[in-house]
Amino acid sequence: MAPKIQRQVTPAHQLLEKLGVPLDPELLVLALTHRSFAHEAGGIPTNERLEFLGDAVLGLVSAEALYRRHPDRPEGELAKMRAATVSQRALAAIARKLELGKFILLGKGEMGTAGYDKDSILSDTVESLIGAVYLSHGLEVAREFVHRLVDETLAVAAGLGAGLDWKTSLQETAAEHGRGVPEYVSEAEGPDHARVFTSRVIVDGEVLGTGHGSAKKHAEQVAAQEAYETLVGRPLPSSA
């Protein structure tokens, strides 16, 4: 019988090399400690407070960059571009480039359901690392760190168009087609630590899109994208 392969957590110093920012070992471990691991370890601190802080720093740095780089864009477009940059999907993609899943401390339940590759856990850990960098080095170093992480995403967001917010784009297109306001129906399956959401978007009584995700808002965006692409392929109603 072949031996059972178990996931091993990679030494943290390898992560520091990827990040390019020195961090106190204890703070780094805290930034990587998911609540599932903390619970199994007897209630030690989790990375959620650092995630809260990092989310604020990420939002500020992203907003400032967009404000300076796009002086001709109105507030609404800037808000959509920031939302696309700091979305769960975008941050998870950054985490995968860093191979962050190798370093996250997870409980047995999350490890058993491949929590190290879940968008929600990966994106939260990126934010906790940003919080740790801010605490250790202040705003200027944190700003440089955030730019290294998200500048490529910021550039892509500027040209996404409808994809900046599929729900808004779908609503606008549905109105153009005289189809009313889209409705979303969502349901969740699985335990809290491995919940999967399925969302369907209904436009004028017709299901035009279905999406899945680890968060309801992510599933709705996927469903909205499918519905948008379906709707734009149909002719506009005649004005005659």
List binding-site positions for Mg(2+).
51, 124, 127
- Is residue 17 flagged as an active site residue? no
Q: For residues 74 and 4, is the Cβ–Cβ distance under 8 A?
A: no
Catalytic member of 119, 127, 220, 226: 127
Catalytic member of 55, 110, 165, 226: 55
Could you tell me the two tokens for 34? 């998911």
Angstrom CA distances, 133 to 100, 126, 184, stand at 16, 11, 38
Angstrom CA distances, 140 to 27, 134, 147, stand at 19, 8, 11
Provide the residue type at 116 as one letter: Y
Which residues belong to the annotated binding site? 51, 124, 127
In the chain, which ranges are continuous DSSP H helix?
A: 12-19, 25-31, 35-40, 48-69, 75-85, 88-97, 108-112, 119-137, 139-157, 166-176, 216-232
Residue 97 CA, chain-centre distance (Å), reads 14
- Is residue 127 flagged as an active site residue? yes
Q: For residues 122 and 92, is the Cβ–Cβ distance under 8 A?
A: yes
Residue 50 CA, chain-centre distance (Å), reads 16
Catalytic residues: 55, 127
